[in-house]
Amino acid sequence: MKLLHALLSLGLLAGTANAAENTKVSNAAIDARGLTLGDFPRYKSVAPDIYAYEGFHPSKVMNTVSLIIVTKDGVVLVDAMGDEQQGQQLVDNIKKITQQPVKYLIVGSDHGDHMAGNGPLKKAWPGMVVISTPASQKAMEKNAAPPTELVTDKRTLNVGGTEIQILNLGRAHTGGDLLVYLPATKIMFMSEVYLRGVFPAMRTAYPGEWVETIKKAQAMNANLYIAGHGWLDDAATMKADLEAFRKNLEVVIAEGKRLHAAKAPCPEPQTCEAAKQAKWGAADSLALRDAQAPIALAKIYQEIDGKLPK
Ligand SMILES: [Zn+2]
């Protein structure tokens, strides 16, 4: 009993909030931090009036992160949640944080896990402007809150005295990727361009361009890089793990090239023999590896063969 108590007070056993929060593991899995689905949604302030908001991914394996920016003249939300229930919880929580309406929803990722819950947002704030790239607009034709304004390269919003830069730094995870940079606080919300502790997920990715897009974000030398999936820790750790994620991406692409050259077959993810021979190195222990590895290989093969969608 004494030992158990000592371990708990030192935070060495999972099961208490402190133990969970003190465990620095970059693997994105919810249980890797001793958390459960019941711990979500949750949010924390990363700067005055700026909140990182976490729900859980529809797979229930990992978290999903949105950014809430509260200004004197309305709220800017970057990304939403993956189902209606979590979309409603997001609405309820924003209303707890502020009386201000959501004026802008910026689509960092057009994948369902970041926008399938848009219905409740649109219902709560029907006048909300939804901003995406043209590529994401196509992907969101059937969404409850389809984009109403487009960004191809860069757009700067000034809302209630807060400058918000919406950046298309190149195609990455979805092909319609947008990042959001806040110059006053040097916060960079990466959406799914940064999947911290997750095996590079490539269902709609542009593998080579993804690496270059991350390099551009790194060159901006933000203070805090926030990932679209994976834990939010201190700024130095988030920066180091962004570098680690990019390197893992490079490792996965290099392994794909090696297997392609060795003529290991991977015509599509379901029939990817090559995945069985792959050696992922540092990327081996990342969340969702088994599910994502064949998808990534098939996509890397497409890129090598010049068959990626234009
Ligand atoms: Zn996602």
Distance 101 CA to ligand 1 centre (A): 25
The mean pLDDT values, 10 residues at a time, for the chain of 310 residues are 41 36 64 93 98 95 97 98 98 98 98 97 98 98 97 98 98 98 98 96 97 98 97 96 95 97 97 96 90 97 96
Distance 113 CA to ligand 1 centre (A): 5
Give the per-residue pLDDT at 7: 41
Run of H or E residues at 219: helix 207-219
Distance 114 CA to ligand 1 centre (A): 6
Distance 265 CA to ligand 1 centre (A): 27
Distance 109 CA to ligand 1 centre (A): 7
Give the per-residue pLDDT at 1: 38
Distance 143 CA to ligand 1 centre (A): 16
10 found inside a domain: no
21 found inside a domain: no
Distance 112 CA to ligand 1 centre (A): 7
Partners of 158 in beta bridges: 163
127 found inside a domain: yes
Give the per-residue pLDDT at 282: 85
Distance 53 CA to ligand 1 centre (A): 14
Distance 8 CA to ligand 1 centre (A): 33
Give the CATH number for residue 117.
3.60.15.10
What is the C-alpha end-to-end distance of the chain, expressed in Å? 63
136 found inside a domain: yes
Q: Which residue in 140, 141, 128, 220 sits closest to 174, CA to CA? A: 140
The number of folded domains in the chain is 1
Distance 77 CA to ligand 1 centre (A): 16
Give the per-residue pLDDT at 8: 38
3-class state of residue 259 by DSSP: helix
Rounded to two decimals, the pTM is 0.91
Give the per-residue pLDDT at 14: 35
Distance 273 CA to ligand 1 centre (A): 26
Give the per-residue pLDDT at 191: 98
Distance 240 CA to ligand 1 centre (A): 21
Quote the CA–CA distance of 274 and 265 in Å, as a whole number.
5
Distance 96 CA to ligand 1 centre (A): 25
Distance 12 CA to ligand 1 centre (A): 31
Quote the CA–CA distance of 21 and 217 in Å, as a whole number.
27
Residue with tokens 């130095």: 236
Distance 155 CA to ligand 1 centre (A): 23
106 found inside a domain: yes
Quote the CA–CA distance of 113 and 202 in Å, as a whole number.
14
Distance 192 CA to ligand 1 centre (A): 6
Give the per-residue pLDDT at 21: 40
187 found inside a domain: yes
Distance 7 CA to ligand 1 centre (A): 35
Give the per-residue pLDDT at 26: 75
167 found inside a domain: yes
Tell me the residue range of the domain where 121 lies.
29-236
Q: What's 288's DSSP letter? A: T
Give the per-residue pLDDT at 214: 98
